[in-house]
Amino acid sequence: MKSKTEAIIISSMNLGDADKLITFFSLDRGTLKGVAKNARKSFRRFGAGLESFTLVRLHLNEREHQELVRIESADIIEQHASIGCDLGRAAAGAVMLELVRELSPLGERNAPAFLLLLHVLHLLDEGEDPLFLLSVYMIKFLSILGYQPKLDHCLACGIRPKGEVLFLGMKGGILCKDCMVSSGEPQIRLSAGAVGFYYHVLRMDMDKVSRLKPSHSIITELDRAFAEHTFHILGKRLKSTDFLKTVCTK
Ligand SMILES: [Zn+2]
């Protein structure tokens, strides 16, 4: 059966002498994997359309009961070429793509998640700050997938804290100042500013998020909290965050 879909290329791996194994996030059917036969030799059918971050129209050919689709050709819609040319942008983008690969279920349509990724890649390509965008992406993406941490009420006493809180990655929630117990372990604290920024982003339309100008420390606090939270969701660390740390250490 032949079909067409709009998709963002998530990853591309060489397969055999001439083929490529492509993971892509499609508007119609979520994450899928496919083989692009002869992709390393046929510039006419694929061009640069199988590079990560590219928005393409893929022409597919599928057989029933086969997990891998066959990718016949790719037409580029938006290339987002500047992401790959800048280490900071490429590193932040790599974390976004890894989150899609790890968290969005194979073959399940999720139009809001697709449109969010597309919007954020657009802003990244245009030169918006990569760490800021990654933070925005994490907040909105985890919420769309139902993994949204709850930072507004203390897990122990239920009050709505005003000042600094302690983030518990395993529970995706917080403890207020009165309920914090020092365990001697390193703790992830979130300032009132970080919690405020988090809820602003959650409620704000993507068209307006660039108006927010959080401080570097707010982004760092949330980055630590999300690293812990995704670790508990996935049972492992995201690989691409190591690359991000080497590139964006300030
Ligand atoms: Zn409390």
Ligand 1 mean position, distance from CA 186 (Å): 19
- State the CATH number of the domain containing residue 32: 2.40.50.140
Locus of tokens 């907040």? 139
Work out the average pLDDT over 197-224: 95
| Domain assignment present for 85 | no
Q: Are residues 46 and 131 in the same domain?
A: no
Q: What is the tally of structural domains in the chain?
A: 2
One domain, residues 137 and 25: no
Residues 137, 221, single domain; the answer is yes
- Position 68 scores a pLDDT of 92
Whether 43 and 146 share a structural domain = no
Instruction: Please check the confidence at residue 250 and state whether its pLDDT lies above 60.
Output: no
Quote the ligand 1 centre to 159 CA distance (angstroms). 6
Q: Is residue 132 domain-resident?
A: yes
Rounded to the nearest angstrom, the distance between the alpha carbon of 165 and the centre of ligand 1 is 9
Pairing of strands 2-15, 19-26: antiparallel
- Region 209-215 average pLDDT: 94
The answer as to whether 20 is a domain residue is yes
Q: Does 129 lie in the same domain as 207?
A: yes
Are 104 and 62 found together in one domain?
A: no
In this structure, the answer to whether residues 127 and 50 fall within a common structural domain is no
Residues in the chain: 250
Residues β-bridged to residue 70: 35, 61
Residue among 148, 94, 139 at smallest CA distance from 121: 94
Domain that residue 243 falls in: 98-150+167-248
**200 and 108 together in one domain:** yes
Query: How far away, in angstroms, is 195 Cα from ligand 1 center?
Result: 15
Together in a domain, 64 and 26: yes
Q: Is residue 9 domain-shared with residue 128, that is, in the same domain?
A: no
Q: Is residue 113 domain-resident?
A: yes
Q: Which residues are paired to 166 by β-bridges?
A: 175, 189
| Interval between CA 34 and ligand 1 midpoint (Å) | 49
What pLDDT is recorded for position 63?
83
Distance between Cα 160 and ligand 1 center (Å): 8
Q: Is the pLDDT of residue 136 over 80?
A: yes
| pLDDT tens profile 28-67 | 999 999 999 998 888 778 888 899 999 999 999 988 778 8
Q: Are 120 and 8 in the same domain? A: no
Residue 18 covered by a domain: yes
Q: State which residues have CB under 5 angstroms from ligand 1, the bound ion.
A: 154, 156-157, 176, 179
Q: Tell me whether residue 161 is in a domain.
A: no
* Mean pLDDT (the chain, rounded): 93
Cβ proximity of 30 and 8 under 8 Å: no
The pTM of the full predicted model, rounded to 2 decimals, is 0.93
Same domain, 66 and 108: no
Query: pLDDT: is 3 or 47 the higher one?
Result: 3
